[in-house]
Structure 1
Amino acid sequence: MIKIAHISDTHITNEGAFKGYAFDLIVEEINRGDFDFVVHTGDVTNQGLREEYEQAAYQLTKIKKPLVVLPGNHDVRNVGYKLFEKFIGPLNGVYEFENGVLIWVDSTIPDLSDGRIGGHKFRWLKEKLEEYSDRKFKIVAAHHHLIPLPDTGRERNVLFNAGDVLDLLLRHEVNLYTCGHKHVPNVYRVGDLVIDNAGCTSCRKTRRGDVNSYNVIKLHDDGMVSVTIRRVTGDEERKEHRPIKPKIFLPSGERVLRIVQMSESNVSDRVYFRRKTLENVIRMINERLKPDLVIHNGDVVDAGIERYYERAYEYYKSISAQTLVVPGHNDITYLGHELFEEYFGEPEVIELGEYVIIPVLSAQYETPIGVVGRMGQRKLERTLEEYDDRFRIVVMHHNIIPIPRSREIGFLEDGGDVLKLLTEEGTELVLTGHGGNAYGLKVEETPIVNAGSVSWELHRDPFGNSFNLIDIYTDMVVVWQVQATWGSRKLIGIWKRKD
C-alpha cells in the first residue's frame, strides 16, 4: 500500500492570511505518520512575492517526507512563477514511486484565478500518460478543480478546458486526480477516476465555517483508492473506491423505457439552422425509433421571437411521442419568457409508471450563465425525496459536468451545490443540453448525459448534429449518440442501474 499526504493552499505570508500554528500542527502529524510522500497542490504563497517565497522555502523544510509541490494561482501573481522555480522547484514534472507515477502539471494563468492545461502542456501531459501507461497507479496533480464543488459560492475558476482534461484522464485510466484551489475538501468518483480536492492547510479563508484540513490518500494493493479528509479538530470523513469490474456490460433484462434526448435545435430563419436535418430527426423518431418520451433540453429557438416559436411549435407538435421541453438561455431572450409558456407550457413532473421525469429551470434572461438558486435547490430536493421509491430522471438545460471541446466558465453558477444534491440523493439519471457536444459520465452513482446540437450548424461535435437515444433496461441504462442525418450510432455510456 502507498500512503500519501495531500496538503494545499497554505498561503504562506507575513500577513494575517497564514495560520502558522495550523501548518505546524498538520506538518507534525504528517512527520509522525507512515507516509510515503507528500503532495502540495498549490497556493504555497499568498501573493507570489519574494519575501513569501523565502518564508515558504523555510516552512516547507519542516516536512521530513519526500515532497512534490506545484504552483497555484496565488503563486504566479507578480511574475511569481519565476520565483517558484527558484525557491520551490519545477512547474511541471514526474515523481515515480512503487507501482505508480505522479504527474504534476502547472494549471495556472499569470495574474488570473482561472486555470488552463492547454496547448503544449496538454500534449505534454498526454505524452507522459502514454509513457507511463503500464503503471498500476497513475496520479495527475494540478491546482484547479475539474468538476464543480459544493459550498464554494458562485462556480468559477474551473479549468477552461476541464472537459478535455477530464476526458483525457478517463481515456488513459488515471486512478486519481488531486487538486486544491477552492479551500473546500471534497472527494468524487467519476467512473474509475477518483477526484480528490484538498481544503486549505493553513489559510484563514475557509468556507462555510470549516477548519483547516488535509487529505490522506491510500493506494491499496487490490487497486482500491481511499481518501480521508482529516481536519485539525480531529474530525474525519472517509471515502473509498474499488475498481469497477467488469468494465463492459451487456443488457440482460427487458427494455422498459426509451427516451430520445435532444437539444439546441435553435429554430430560426438564420443560415445556421438546418431545417432538413431537424425534419429528418423527427421522421426517425416517428417511423423508426418510436420512443416513449422525447425530451428537449433547451434552446428550442435561436431567439425568443414569435415567428421562431410558431415554427418550432409546428415541428415539435408533429412528434407522435409525449414531449417534454425545458427552456434554454436562447429561449427566454426578448419575449421568449412569455412565448415559451404560451407555446410549450410550464414544464411539469411527468410520471410514467415507476419512472418520474423532473424538470429543473436554470435559464436566466439575456445570459448563457444559468442558476437553479437556493429556492430551486430546495424544491428539487423535496421532489427527489417525494419520489425516492421511483427511477428519477432530472432534466435541465445547463451542463453540470464539463464538456469536451468547450470553454468551461461555470455555466451553471451554483453547479457545485446542484451536483452535490443530485449525487447525495442518488438520482438515477440526469439529462442536460448545453455546450453543443454529446457527452456522458457517471459521478458517484448518478449518470449524467449531455446532448449535442440536433440542428444548429455551430456545434462542437466531430460526429456532427446528433441526438441521444436512451434505452433503460431492468438492469442497465444504455445511451447512444445518433447522427442526425444518417442515423449511425456511437455509444456514449452503459451503466448498471443501482440496486
Structure 2
Amino acid sequence: MIRIAHISDTHITSESAYKGYAYDLIVSEINRGNFDFVIHTGDVTNQGLREEYERAAYELKKIQKPLVVIPGNHDVRNVGYELFQKFIGPLNGVFEFENGVVIWVDSTIPDLSDGRVGGYKFKWLKAKLEEYSKREFKIIAAHHHIVPLPDTGRERNVLFNAGDVLDLMLRHEVSLYTCGHKHVPNVYRVEDMVVDNAGCTSCRKTRKGDVNSYNIITLHDDGRIEVTIKRVTGERAKKEREPVRPKIFVPKEKRLFRIVQLSESNVSDRVYFRRKVLENAIRTINERIKPDLVIHCGDIVDMGIERYYEKAYEFYEKIKAQKLVVPGHNDITYLGYDLFREYFGDPNILEIGRFTFIPVISAQYETPIGVVGRIGQRIIAKHLEEYRETFTVVVMHHNIVPIPRSRERGFLEDAGDVLRMLTREKANLVLTGHGGNSFGIKVENTPIVNASSVSWELHRNPYGNTFNLIDIYRDLMVVFEVQATWGSGRLLGMWKIKEPFNP
C-alpha cells in the first residue's frame, strides 16, 4: 500500500494572502503521518518573485518526506519559471515508486492563467506513458484541471488541449490524474481513472467559505485508489475507485431502445455544407438503422435565417422515426430563436415507454458560449428526480467534458456545476453535440456522448462526417460512430449499467 499527501496552491508570499499557520498545521500532519511521498501541484508562490521563491524554498524544506513539485500559473509570472528551476526543481519529470510512477508536466503558459500541454511536451508525455506502461499505478500530475469543476464560478482556465490530454491518458490506462489550480477539492471517476483536485493548502482564497485542505491518496495492493479530502477543521470526505474488470461486456438480453444522435448538420447554401452526405446519412438511418428516436444536438442550420430553416426542415422531414431537436448557438443567430420554434417547435420532455428525454437549452444569442444557469440546473435536477424510475437521457448542445482535437475554452460557462448536478442526480445518459468531434466518456456512473458533425466540412473528426448509434440493453449501453458517407461503423464506447434497467 502506498500513501500520498497531495497539497496545492500554497501561494507563499510575504503578504496576507498566505496563511502560514494553515501550511504549518498541514505539514505537521503530513510529517507525523505514514506517507510515502508528497505531491505539490503548483502555485507554490503568489507572483513568481524572487523573494517568494526564497521563502518557498525554506517552507518546502519543512516537509520531511520525498517531494514532487509542479509549477502553477502563479509560479511562472514575471519569468518565474526560471526561478522555479533554480529554487525548486525541474519543470517536468518522473518520480518512480514501488510498482508505480508519477509523471509531472508543466501545464503553464507564462503570464496567463490558462493551461496547455504543448506539442513537444505532449509527445514527451506520450513517450513516458509508453515507457512506463507496465507499471500498475501510473499517475499524471499537473497544475490545471482536466474536467470542469463545481463551485468555481465561470468555467475557464482549463487546459486548452484538455480533450487530447484526457484521451491520451485514457488510452494509456492512467490510474490517477492529480492537479490543483481552482482552490476546490474534488474527486471524480472518469472511466477507470481517478481525477483528483486538491483545494488550497495555505491561501485565503477559498471558495464559498471553505477552509484550507489537502488530499490523502491511498493506492491499495489490489488496484483500488482511495482519495480522502482532509480539511484543517478535521472534516473528511472519502471516495474510492475500484478497477473495472472485465473491460468487455456482452448484452444478455434483447435491445430495449435505439437512438441515432446527430449534430452540426449546419444546413445552408455555403460550400462547407455537404448536402449529399446528409442525404446519404438520412437514407442509412431510414433503411438500415431504423431507430426508435433520432436526436439532433444543435446547429441544425448554419445561420438563423428562413431559407436555411426551410432547407433543414425539408431534410429532416424525410426521417421516418420520431425526432427530438435542441438548438445550438448557430440556430439562434439573427431570427433563429423564433424560426427554430416555428419549424421544429419548443423542445419538451419526451416520454417513450420507460425512457425519458430531457432537453436542455444551453445556447445564447450571438455567442458560442453556452449556459444552463442556476435556475436551469434546479429544474433539470427536479426532472431527474421526478423521472428517476425511468431511463433518463439529458440532451443539450454544448459539451460538458473536453473534446479531443478541439481548443477547450469553457464553451459551457457553468459546466462544472452542471456536470456535478448530472452525476449527482445519476442521469443515465447525457448527449451533447458541440466541438466537431465525437467522444464518449463515463464520469462517475453517467456516460456522456458527444456527436461529431454529420454534414459540415469544417469538422475535427479524422473519421469524417459521422453520427452516433446508441443501443440500450437492460444492463449495457453500446455506442457506435457511423460514417455518414459509407455507413461503416466503429465502437465509440461501451458501458455497463450499474443498476440494471427494468423496462
When normalised by structure 1's length, the TM-score is: 1.00
- In the TM superposition, residue 36 of structure 1 has moved relative to its aligned partner by 0.1
How many residue pairs get aligned? The number is: 499
CA distance in 2, matches of 1:248, 1:213: 38
- In the TM superposition, residue 253 of structure 1 has moved relative to its aligned partner by 1.4
The 3-state SS of whatever aligns with 1:57 is helix
The 3-state SS of whatever aligns with 2:184 is coil
CA distance in 2, matches of 1:138, 1:319: 47
- In the TM superposition, residue 398 of structure 1 has moved relative to its aligned partner by 0.2
CA distance in 2, matches of 1:475, 1:104: 38
Partner of residue 429, structure 1: 429
Partner of residue 68, structure 2: 68
CA distance in 1, matches of 2:281, 2:323: 14
CA distance in 2, matches of 1:319, 1:349: 20
1:397 aligns with 2:397: yes
Map 1:352-363 → 2, pairs under 5 A: 352-363=352-363
Partner of residue 181, structure 1: 181
Aligned AA (2:141): A
Partner of residue 222, structure 1: 222
CA distance in 2, matches of 1:206, 1:451: 36
CA distance in 2, matches of 1:443, 1:118: 25
1:446 aligns with 2:464: no
CA distance in 2, matches of 1:260, 1:35: 50
Partner of residue 204, structure 2: 204
Q: Deviations over 1:108-128 (max 9, x none)?
A: 000000000021100000000
Q: Deviations over 1:409-459 (max 9, x none)?
A: 000000000000000011100000000001101000000000000000000
Partner of residue 89, structure 1: 89
Q: Deviations over 1:196-231 (max 9, x none)?
A: 000000000000111000000000000000000000
- In the TM superposition, residue 250 of structure 1 has moved relative to its aligned partner by 1.4
CA distance in 1, matches of 2:288, 2:169: 37
CA distance in 2, matches of 1:290, 1:97: 53
The 3-state SS of whatever aligns with 1:441 is strand
Q: Deviations over 1:367-406 (max 9, x none)?
A: 0000000111111011111101111000000000100000
CA distance in 1, matches of 2:11, 2:435: 35
Map 1:331-346 → 2, pairs under 5 A: 331-346=331-346
Partner of residue 144, structure 1: 144
Map 1:263-282 → 2, pairs under 5 A: 263-282=263-282
Partner of residue 124, structure 2: 124
Partner of residue 164, structure 2: 164
Partner of residue 473, structure 2: 473
CA distance in 2, matches of 1:35, 1:299: 51
Partner of residue 37, structure 2: 37
Partner of residue 191, structure 2: 191
CA distance in 2, matches of 1:478, 1:100: 32
Partner of residue 57, structure 1: 57
CA distance in 2, matches of 1:69, 1:288: 55
Moved more, 280-289 or 358-367: 280-289
The 3-state SS of whatever aligns with 2:472 is strand
The 3-state SS of whatever aligns with 1:45 is coil
Aligned AA (2:332): I
Partner of residue 347, structure 1: 347
1:9 aligns with 2:47: no
Partner of residue 485, structure 1: 485
CA distance in 2, matches of 1:13, 1:157: 23
The 3-state SS of whatever aligns with 2:362 is coil
Residue identity (%): 76
Aligned AA (1:52): E
1:133 aligns with 2:133: yes
CA distance in 1, matches of 2:154, 2:339: 30
Unaligned runs of 5+ in 2: none
Partner of residue 326, structure 1: 326
CA distance in 2, matches of 1:118, 1:351: 45
The 3-state SS of whatever aligns with 1:333 is coil
Q: Deviations over 1:459-483 (max 9, x none)?
A: 0000000000001111111000000
CA distance in 2, matches of 1:311, 1:207: 48
Unaligned runs of 5+ in 1: none
- In the TM superposition, residue 287 of structure 1 has moved relative to its aligned partner by 1.1
CA distance in 1, matches of 2:154, 2:299: 24
1:455 aligns with 2:455: yes
Would you identify which runs of 4 or more consecutive aligned residues in structure 1 move more than 2 Å?
Answer: none
CA distance in 1, matches of 2:381, 2:49: 45
Aligned AA (1:271): V
Moved more, 407-416 or 281-290: 281-290
CA distance in 2, matches of 1:399, 1:287: 30
- In the TM superposition, residue 363 of structure 1 has moved relative to its aligned partner by 0.2
Partner of residue 285, structure 1: 285
- In the TM superposition, residue 498 of structure 1 has moved relative to its aligned partner by 2.2
- In the TM superposition, residue 175 of structure 1 has moved relative to its aligned partner by 0.2
The 3-state SS of whatever aligns with 1:331 is coil
Partner of residue 113, structure 2: 113
